[in-house]
Amino acid sequence: TYLTGPKFGTKALISINKEATEYVSIPSSAAFNFAKDDFSVEFWLMPFTHNSYLMHDDLDTLSGVRGAFAILDSGYPALYIGASAQQASRTIDLAKWSHLAYSRKAGVFYIHLNGEQVLATAIDSNFDLSQGTKILIGNGAYNGVPYPVNGMVDSIRITKGASRLDG
């Protein structure tokens, strides 16, 4: 049972439960290799629990120079480059719609939560979500353990080559 309906319209893009029966899976593409370029990935999220991957490829590891967007079990949004997590300074509320944005502009990675910058860190690494066979939105796994989103995701927007957020 959801506390409210979708953020926009009559149905959320993804209504996900803890069993991970609903998520978006799209074929891998070089379009998801952001390399060292500017990009933005933003969406509305209403999580019912923390500790989940929001966007990840289907490889069961975080090794190499790859990336993932996650919510840590402590409730902090995080950005993974390889196995290293860069954690935001504020937690995301449960059972409430929040706007979450991950971006890179001029070599600096940012996380914005409800319009507030909660992480800014310079990382000179490629950010690549294209190394698996598909991109998962709302699910991911690490060492065989699934980390699905338990909640709703709506209005995903991905921009490659430009950051829609200014630090």
* Tokens standing for residue 53: 């991957």
Indicate whether 127 pLDDT > 50.
Answer: yes
Residue 118: per-residue pLDDT: 96
Q: Higher confidence at residue 21 or residue 80?
A: 80
- In the predicted structure, residue 2 carries a pLDDT above the cut 60: no
pLDDT at 117: 95
d(CA 111, CA 84): 15
| Per-residue confidence (pLDDT) for residue 3, from 0 to 100 | 42
**Dihedral over alpha carbons 150, 156, 159, 164 (to 10 degrees):** -90
Average pLDDT, integer, range 80-95: 86
Please state, in angstroms and as integers, the Cα–Cα distance from residue 136 to each residue in 49, 140, 141, following that order. Answer: 18, 6, 10
Amino acid at 64: G
Q: What SS3 state is found at 166? A: coil
Q: Which of the four pLDDT bands, split at 50, 70 and 90, describes residue 167?
A: low
In angstroms, the CA 116 to CA 132 distance is: 32
Residue 71 Cα to chain centre, angstroms:
8
Q: Tens digit of pLDDT for each residue in 60-81?
A: 554 554 667 888 888 999 888 7
Buried/exposed code over 112-140 (b: 16+ C-beta within 10 A; e: otherwise): bbeeebbbeeebeeebbbbbbeebbbbbb
**pLDDT above 90 (res 132):** no
Determine which helix (DSSP H) or strand (DSSP E) holds 89, and give its type and residue range: none
* pLDDT one-digit tens code per residue, 24-39: 777 877 887 787 888 8
For residue 11, the model assigns a pLDDT of 58
Identify the band that residue 135 occupies on the pLDDT scale cut at 50, 70 and 90.
Answer: confident
